[in-house]
Amino acid sequence: MFATTFTRQIAAIACTVVMSATCLMGALAPAHVAAAQNQTPVAAIEAPIA
């Protein structure tokens, strides 16, 4: 699939970055939701559509 060592290294770096970002978002998203539940809800702004 990958012809050279350089392309293998680039693919490994790309996979590492994507997996790290995925794990980070998976860890931060529940914390963000839990913190938002303690706040007073704000009504959505409804504007007429032109």
Average model confidence (pLDDT) across the chain = 79
Q: What percent of the chain has pLDDT over 90?
A: 36
Pick from 27, 1, 29: which is nearest to 15 by CA? 1
Q: What is the tens place of the pLDDT at every residue in 3-21? A: 899 999 999 999 999 999 9
Hey, where are the domains in the chain? 1-30
Q: What pLDDT score was predicted for residue 29?
A: 73
Contact 2, 11 (CB under 8 A): yes
pLDDT, mean of residues 45-49: 73
Q: What percent of the chain has pLDDT over 70?
A: 66
Q: Report how far Cα 35 is from the mean position of its chain's Cα atoms.
A: 17
